[in-house]
Amino acid sequence: MSKAYDELKAAIVGHSPLIYVQTPEEERVIRELKNIAGDLSWPVRKWSSVRGMEGVEDAKEPVKALLSVIDQSLPGISIFSDLSAFFKDPLVIRALREVYSDGRRHNERAVIIIGADFDIPESLKKELQVVEVAPPDENEIAALIDAEAAAHKDLSVQADTVHEITLALKGLTENEISFVLNRAFSLENPSKDQLLDEIFAEKKSVVKKTGFLEFSPPRWDIKSLGGLDNLKNWLIKRRNTFSREALAAGVPIPKGLLMMGISGCGKSLAVKTISSLWNIPMFRLDMNLVFSGMYGSPEEAFHRAMKTIEAVAPAVLWIDEIENALGMDDSGQRISSHIFSSFLTWMQEKPPLVFIAATANKIQAIPAEVLRKGRFDEVFFCDLPAPAERDEIMRIHLLRNGANPDEFDFKMLRIMTDGWNGAEIEQAVISARTEAFYDNRKFNERDLTAVISRIVPLSDTMEQQIKAIRSWAFSRATPASKYGKSAAKSM
Ligand SMILES: Nc1ncnc2c1ncn2[C@@H]1O[C@H](COP(=O)(O)OP(=O)(O)O)[C@@H](O)[C@H]1O
Ligand SMILES: [Mg+2]
């Protein structure tokens, strides 16, 4: 039996007279309800505003249909589709309450409302038992894969590929799964990566509908991140935790990671590497849009974002500059405490397959509750890169810009870039390249040193702030760099 079957059956045999099933998957829920009714030997009837009530004359009108359950003392399961569209009508609310109290006297009866809305009228909260039906579980997904594979006769899918795509398909609805499998299995000899790409694309389009979650493509290799070895090793060690084998073996799943520190040191870039390293889709939550009011109240929009990300798990939820996201101003005062507290609660209760990757620049604005042990698995501090790390970063950007690192004097560049962050190193390389391009030639060491001597790094003008950030962070976070506290320039 599926998880959905179990959840629905528990509510029905628990004698809840009025059950609200929150789901976008009406067909699937009705099928499960019919299975349950069959197993209990109960009758089933359906109502919709256009078809009326099965077996009852002239009952398209919702109040009439609801009262027919009472007046005709109908046993079994009565299913009302989209009744939530009528929740604004006080007569419907009244009828539902009567159905509830009458239902309490009838054991073999359940009235079930199916709808996709999250919002339930305040006046019905006591009477309605809400069941949020989980999307297809692994067994159901496996059955769907079998069915689609059987429809594509030339196709053979390896067993280990089946395992991986099963996991990747989690969170999609039955229709979405059939749709994406049909599309993927129609490719000629699809490789595992092609199948996963198709599934990620489908998840991306599901999430896009919310408006404020943005798919972050798995485009960044961990090799594009220079230095920060402690952080990189942490990520690399956990690269297989979302595989089916690890999940089956009960390997603990990481909850989340917070990277804080000086800006321009690669925190956002580090997050971007996670999805290709771990092979799971990643979505960036745009809190500006959540707060914009374009998607209802910020609280409602935030709740919807959390529900959506749960639905497409396993996934990484990226919250960039979390101090703004949680509604903090510069001094750590809360502007929106509702969102803040619901975020903390959600982090505590969230399903294990959502991994949070958060970054923060204004680290003093992070309240202690966020840093408390158990919320994030690890809190890393990203300092200015150490000399050897600057070499690595320089090499990465030289190569990316078509230069040969062997033609550059790293010893000298190291001295010239004392106190620089990664973003500044990148900027210098790009400027050198642009200027040489203007003269129609490749850039060389002379171009680079000329640019470097013109740039004043942030750390020169922000010495005091950086000192403060360091002393605050070193007692609260793990250094992301393997050079630890001795990392950057001696200030
Ligand atoms: N450690 C690093 N290795 C390679 N590139 C870096 C590094 N740090 C910064 N950069 C470059 O600077 C850009 C901006 O860095 P970013 O990750 O946005 O910094 P932060 O989020 O810490 O402010 C990156 O996209 C990258 O090109
Ligand atoms: Mg950033």
Which of ligand 1's atoms lies nearest the C-alpha of 227? 1
Predicted pLDDT at 488: 52
Q: Is the CB of 391 under 6 A from ligand 1?
A: no
Measured in Å, residue 268 CA sits from the centre of ligand 1 at 7
Nearest ligand, CA 284: 2
**CA nearest neighbour of 384 among 353, 356, 425:** 425
User: Do the Cβ atoms of 194 and 187 come closer than 8 Å?
Assistant: yes
Measured in Å, residue 352 CA sits from the centre of ligand 2 at 25
Q: Whose CA is nearest to atom 17 of ligand 1?
A: 266
Nearest ligand, CA 423: 1
Low-confidence residues of the chain: pLDDT under 70? 118-119, 325-337, 486-491
Amino acid at 431: S
Nearest ligand, CA 421: 1
Predicted pLDDT at 212: 82
Contacts for 237-241: CB closer than 8 Å, 24+ residues apart: 238/278, 239/277, 239/278, 239/279, 241/278
Q: Is the CB of 227 under 6 A from ligand 1?
A: yes
Measured in Å, residue 362 CA sits from the centre of ligand 2 at 11
**CA nearest neighbour of 276 among 372, 369, 197, 351:** 197
**Against a cut of 0.85, is the pTM above it?**
no
Measured in Å, residue 363 CA sits from the centre of ligand 2 at 12
DSSP, res 373: B
Three-class secondary structure of residue 213 per DSSP? strand
| Best residue among 231, 426, 462, 483 to mutate for probing ligand 1, ranked by most atoms within 8 Å of CB | 426
pLDDT in tens, 182-233: 999 998 888 888 998 899 888 888 777 777 888 888 889 999 999 999 999 9
Q: Whose CA is nearest to atom 16 of ligand 1?
A: 266
Which of ligand 1's atoms lies nearest the C-alpha of 423? 12
**CA nearest neighbour of 456 among 405, 421, 485:** 421
Residues linked to residue 282 through DSSP beta bridges, in sequence order:
216, 316
Give the Å distances, CA to CA, from 248 to 3, 100, 122, 245, 377: 17, 42, 41, 5, 21
Please tell me the distance from the alpha carbon of residue 460 to that of residue 431, in angstroms, as a whole number. Answer: 20
User: Do the Cβ atoms of 115 and 152 come closer than 8 Å?
Assistant: no
User: Do the Cβ atoms of 357 and 271 come closer than 8 Å?
Assistant: yes
Helix (H) or strand (E) holding 115: strand 109-115
The token duo for 288 is: 């500006």
Other beta carbons within 10 angstroms of residue 465's beta carbon come to 13
Please tell me the distance from the alpha carbon of residue 18 to that of residue 21, in angstroms, as a whole number. Answer: 10
Predicted pLDDT at 241: 87
Predicted pLDDT at 437: 93
Give the Å distances, CA to CA, from 400 to 149, 224, 404, 429, 461: 42, 9, 10, 10, 29
Measured in Å, residue 234 CA sits from the centre of ligand 1 at 18
Q: Is the CB of 232 under 6 A from ligand 1?
A: no
Predicted pLDDT at 328: 60
Residue 408 backbone dihedrals phi, psi, to 5 degrees: -120, 145
| Best residue among 263, 267, 268, 269 to mutate for probing ligand 1, ranked by most atoms within 8 Å of CB | 269
Give the Å distances, CA to CA, from 123 to 10, 67, 83, 93, 445: 24, 19, 15, 8, 73
Measured in Å, residue 277 CA sits from the centre of ligand 1 at 17
The token duo for 302 is: 């935030």
What would you report as the CA-atom Rg of the chain, rounded to the nearest whole angstrom? 28
Please tell me the distance from the alpha carbon of residue 306 to that of residue 328, in angstroms, as a whole number. Answer: 19
The residue behind tokens 């209990």 is 40
Q: Is the CB of 128 under 6 A from ligand 1?
A: no
Please tell me the distance from the alpha carbon of residue 99 to that of residue 93, in angstroms, as a whole number. Answer: 10
Which of ligand 1's atoms lies nearest the C-alpha of 259? 22
Which residues have their alpha-adjacent CB atom under 5 A from ion ligand 2? Answer: 268
Strand order in the sheet with 256-261: 213-216, 282-285, 315-319, 354-360, 256-261, 378-382, 478-479
Predicted pLDDT at 460: 92
Measured in Å, residue 435 CA sits from the centre of ligand 2 at 27
Measured in Å, residue 264 CA sits from the centre of ligand 1 at 5
Which of ligand 1's atoms lies nearest the C-alpha of 226? 3
Helix (H) or strand (E) holding 317: strand 315-319
Please tell me the distance from the alpha carbon of residue 262 to that of residue 362, in angstroms, as a whole number. Answer: 8
Measured in Å, residue 76 CA sits from the centre of ligand 1 at 61
Measured in Å, residue 190 CA sits from the centre of ligand 2 at 36
Predicted pLDDT at 121: 83
Q: How many helices (H) and strands (E) does the chain have?
A: 22, 13
Q: Is the CB of 481 under 6 A from ligand 1?
A: no
